[in-house]
């Protein structure tokens, strides 16, 4: 894994992870000693940027920077939990579909294609209408349940092509059973690709979550980056002059997407070495 | 002898053409069958997903009503209200009967999806048809423009791959492509719309106007449409640019291109007839893939720009827990995504003779 894109992406992710995990505590012990910056009504709302409040205070009388820093972790959590859910489901289904032959193969392909075309946003919104109280895990699981079809769709052909290789035939001849073939022969070479799909799923989930928040139908009250952006837009904080309260969370989202995109580019090159030579050597 | 051979060759050519046509026809029929089946299956999945989710939406509806009225009704009245709601939404029967009814009314009853809450007692169907032009207009115009601009730009960048400018273009498109469409929309609304006041960024047209065929109204409509379409275009266009660039680069490495250059063809002919045409086909397929995600994005854009399209309708319906309308919008999205994919798939054989033969 000495791929420069992957390393750059991982460093970027590590940095924001540090901010997300230790940022709130750090802020409380340095800038806001003896205060409660994350509590509603701690300060006068909508104060402009100052030394005490680098990006001002929000409409609920909280420090903007504190709100921003503590919004990162929930956003990342949603992305990872939802991404992992859809990747695991999709890989299992994709492997079953790719490994099976005949009728089962056709059936699974139709099923995957079918779920793939169902437009997710209205469905998610409609589910939101049915679910009374959201929490982070419920939301992540639901986002994950909607993402598996894409994963299965791209994993299936990979499994199919691997299954036809002669080394797999050899394993069959030497008496390995189906599970051994799947876990020992088919899974390992696909790991970089699965990593690639996982990272795409994280992006998809974070994108969907923030999108739900921004049209005002997300898991209301979940303190995510999307929620902060949505709140800032509704309260027109930019008109007030609190530019940072929207630009920072939006920038953080784009930053995470960029990091994952870098990792993806790298994983794609690892999995598909021809890509590198054609792009650079053409 | 030679004339005979020529005739035979000509004969087999027409025969081959006929066989080709038959195959295209068979391909189209088979593809249409798959389309109908998927449409039915997707609608069925969507129908059952909601009804199998635990929790009773009627309680939420009742809660809303109680809050709006500001007083609690007695238990008997509550039961009556819930029963009435269930009847309106067709939820008062066992699940299989609900499903059959839903399909029967939707297909045989001329898309009868029940009354809407958003504009009671207007039919859900009428409401959806009234809002549809906005969504379709923004969606198709921005996707097509983005596709044309992105494909052209991508071809150019791929062709000039070593120059500084094209490397810069790649970095910019990558950044734009990963930016969520709603963030682009928010940025345009806040800066272009409100801070710099360059273009209107809210509503379908100026508030004092009435829909009519005057220049004033049409120009207002068009200027109001620029920013919503631009948000969509920037993100999708960047994706198409990058996709086309990658395709161009891989096509440029092919042997037949080296041969075309060696034949002494002008660079423009090589670009147009050899590289561009071959890179175009996957690019058309890519069009089919982004349809779903772009429709999602268009719904969000409508809400942010306060355009009276289906996305906004959905959000209104959601606030009132109007299940008939919500279902109708989901139905429309499924239908739109599947139909657009079908159109692209059927258009592909026209572009690529290889698919025509092997399909």
State pLDDT tens for residues A62-88: 888 888 888 899 899 989 999 999 999
Beta carbons of B329 and A122 less than 8 Å apart? yes
Q: CB under 8 Å to B293, separation ≥6 — which residues?
A: none
Residue B275: CA atoms inside 13 Å, Cβ hemisphere, count?
33
The average pLDDT across A140-160 equals 82
Look at B38 and A120 and tell me if their CB atoms are within 8 Å: no
pLDDT at residue A116 tops 70: yes
Tokens of B145: 């423009």
Could you tell me which residue, A258 or B251, shows the higher pLDDT?
A: A258
Nearest to B91 by CA among B57, B119, B124: B57
Q: Rounded to an integer, what distance in angstroms lies between the CA atom of residue A276 and that of residue A265?
A: 10
Touching B: A residues 41-80, CB under 8 Å: none
Mean pLDDT throughout B175-201?
84
Instruction: Retrieve residue B273's tokens.
Output: 């007839």
Judged by a CB distance cut-off of 8 A, whether residue B253 touches chain A is yes
Q: Which region holds residue A175: left if phi is over 0, alpha if psi is between -120 and 50, else beta?
A: left
Q: Return the CA Rg of chain A.
A: 23
Cα angle: B45, vertex B49, B52; to 5 degrees: 130
Task: Tell me which residue of B53, B126, B337, B175 sits closest to A261, measured CA to CA.
Answer: B175
Alpha helix positions (H), chain A: 4-29, 64-99, 103-117, 120-130, 136-163, 166-173, 178-180, 187-214, 225-234, 237-240, 244-271, 273-281
Task: Give the pLDDT score at B134.
Answer: 87
- A131 interaction partners in chain B (CB closer than 8 Å): 53, 55
Interface touch A119/B38, C-beta < 8 Å? no
SS3 B123: strand
> What residues of chain A lie within 8 A of the CB of B323, using their CB?
129
Whether A126 sits inside 8 A of B195 (CB atoms) is no
SS3 A135: coil
**ipTM exceeds 0.90, yes or no:** no
Contact A9, A259 (CB under 8 A): yes
Are the C-beta atoms of A121 and B299 separated by less than 8 Å? yes
Q: What is the CA radius of gyration of chain B?
A: 26
Q: Which residue of B has its CA nearest to A113?
A: B38
Bridge partners, A63 (sequence order)? A57
Task: Work out the minimum CA distance from B79 to partner chain A, whole angstroms.
Answer: 19
Q: Is the pLDDT of residue A281 over 50?
A: no
Closest partner residue to A119 (CB to CB) among B175, B194, B337 is: B337
Please tell me if residue A215 touches chain B, with a CB cutoff of 8 Å. Answer: yes
For B257, the closest chain A residue by CA position comes to A282
Q: How far is residue A190 CA from its own chain's centroid?
A: 20
Q: Which residue has the higher pLDDT, B350 or A251?
A: A251
User: What contacts 24+ positions apart, CB below 8 Å, involve B31-36?
Assistant: B31/B342, B31/B345, B31/B346, B32/B342, B35/B338, B35/B339, B35/B342
How confident is the prediction for chain B on average, in pLDDT? 79
A107 touches chain B (CB under 8 A): no
- Chain B nearest C-alpha distance from A134 (Å): 13
- Which of B212, B245, B240, B207 is closest to B224 using CA atoms? B207
- Substitution target in B238, B318, B337, B344 with the highest count of A β-carbons within 10 Å is B318
State the smallest CA–CA distance between residue A149 and chain B in angstroms: 13
Q: For residue range A233-273, list pLDDT tens digits in order.
A: 888 777 777 777 888 888 899 899 989 988 888 887 777 66
Query: What confidence tens digit (pLDDT) does each residue in B29-47 have?
Result: 888 888 888 888 878 877 7
| High-pLDDT (> 90) share of chain A, % | 9
- Higher pLDDT, residue A148 or B348: A148
- Indicate the helix (H) or strand (E) that contains B247: helix B215-252
Name the residue among B50, B296, B315 with its Cβ closest to that of A119.
B296
Q: Which positions ≥6 away from B323 have C-beta within 8 Å?
A: A129, B50, B57, B89, B91
H runs (alpha helix) in B53-178:
57-69, 75-88, 95-107, 124-159, 164-178
> What integer pLDDT is reported at residue A278 of this predicted model?
41
The minimal CB distance from A122 to the residues B55, B333, B338 is found for B333
Condensed to tens digits (0 to 9), the pLDDT of residues B68-110 reads 777 777 777 777 877 777 777 777 777 788 888 878 877 776 6
Whether A258 and B175 lie within 8 Å, measured CB to CB: yes
Report phi then psi at B115, rounded to 5: -75, 155
């Amino acid at each position: 894994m000495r791929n420069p894109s992957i390393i750059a992406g991982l460093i970027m992710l590590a940095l924001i992870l540090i901010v997300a995990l230790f940022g709130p505590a750090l802020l409380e012990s340095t800038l806001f000693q003896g205060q409660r910056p994350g509590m509603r009504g701690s300060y006068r709302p909508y104060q402009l940027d100052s030394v005490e409040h680098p990006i001002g205070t929000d409409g609920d009388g909280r420090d903007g920077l504190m709100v921003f820093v503590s919004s990162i972790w929930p956003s990342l959590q949603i992305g990872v939990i939802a991404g992992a859910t859809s990747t695991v489901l999709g890989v299992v289904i994709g492997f079953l579909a790719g490994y099976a032959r005949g009728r089962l193969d056709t059936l699974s392909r139709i099923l995957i294609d079918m779920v793939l075309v169902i437009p997710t946003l209205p469905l998610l919104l409609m589910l939101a209408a049915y679910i009374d109280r959201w929490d982070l895990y419920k939301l992540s699981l639901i986002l994950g349940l909607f993402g598996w079809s894409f994963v299965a769709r791209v994993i299936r052909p990979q499994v199919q092509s691997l299954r036809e290789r002669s080394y797999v035939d050899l394993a069959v001849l030497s008496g390995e059973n189906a599970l051994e073939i799947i876990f020992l022969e088919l899974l390992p070479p696909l790991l970089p690709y699965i990593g690639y799909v996982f990272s795409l799923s994280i992006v998809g989930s974070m994108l969907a979550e923030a999108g739900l928040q921004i049209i005002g139908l997300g898991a209301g009250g979940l303190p995510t980056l999307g929620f902060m952006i949505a709140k800032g837009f509704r309260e027109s904080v930019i008109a007030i002059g609190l530019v940072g309260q929207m630009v920072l969370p939006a920038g953080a989202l784009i930053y995470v997407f960029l990091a994952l995109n870098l990792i993806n580019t790298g994983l794609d090159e690892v999995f598909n070495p021809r890509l590198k030579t054609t792009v650079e050597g053409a | 002898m030679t004339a005979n051979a020529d005739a035979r060759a000509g004969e087999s050519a027409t025969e081959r053409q006929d066989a080709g046509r038959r195959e295209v026809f068979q391909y189209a029929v088979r593809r249409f069958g798959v389309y109908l089946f998927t449409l039915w299956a997707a609608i069925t999945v969507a129908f059952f997903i909601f009804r199998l989710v635990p929790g009773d939406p009627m309680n939420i509806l009742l809660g809303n009503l109680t809050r709006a009225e500001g007083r609690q009704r007695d238990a008997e009245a509550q039961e009556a209200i819930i029963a009435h709601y269930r009847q309106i939404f067709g939820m008062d029967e066992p699940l299989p009967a609900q499903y059959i009814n839903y399909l029967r009314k939707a297909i045989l009853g001329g898309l009868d999806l029940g009354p809407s809450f958003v504009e009671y007692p207007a039919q859900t169907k009428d409401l959806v048809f009234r809002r549809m032009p906005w969504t379709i207009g923004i969606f198709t115009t921005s996707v097509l423009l983005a596709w044309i601009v992105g494909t052209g730009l991508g071809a150019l960048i791929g062709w000039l791959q070593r120059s500084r400018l094209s490397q810069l273009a790649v970095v910019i498109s990558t950044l734009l492509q990963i930016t969520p469409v709603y963030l682009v929309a928010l940025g345009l609304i806040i800066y272009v719309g409100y801070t710099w006041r360059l273009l209107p960024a809210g509503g379908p047209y100026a508030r004092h106007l009435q829909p009519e065929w005057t220049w004033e109204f049409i120009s207002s409509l068009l200027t109001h449409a620029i920013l919503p379409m631009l948000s969509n275009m920037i993100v999708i266009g960047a994706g198409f640019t990058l996709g086309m660039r990658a395709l161009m680069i891989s096509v440029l490495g092919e042997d037949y291109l080296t041969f075309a250059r060696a034949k002494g063809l002008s660079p423009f002919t090589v670009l147009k007839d050899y590289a561009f045409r071959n890179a175009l086909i996957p690019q058309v397929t890519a069009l089919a893939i982004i349809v779903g995600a772009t429709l999602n994005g268009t719904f969000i854009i409508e809400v942010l720009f306060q355009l009276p399209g289906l996305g906004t309708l959905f959000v209104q319906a959601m606030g009132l827990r109007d299940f008939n309308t919500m279902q109708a919008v989901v139905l429309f999205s499924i239908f739109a995504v599947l139909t657009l994919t079908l159109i692209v798939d059927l258009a592909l054989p026209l572009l690529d003779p290889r698919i025509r033969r092997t399909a």
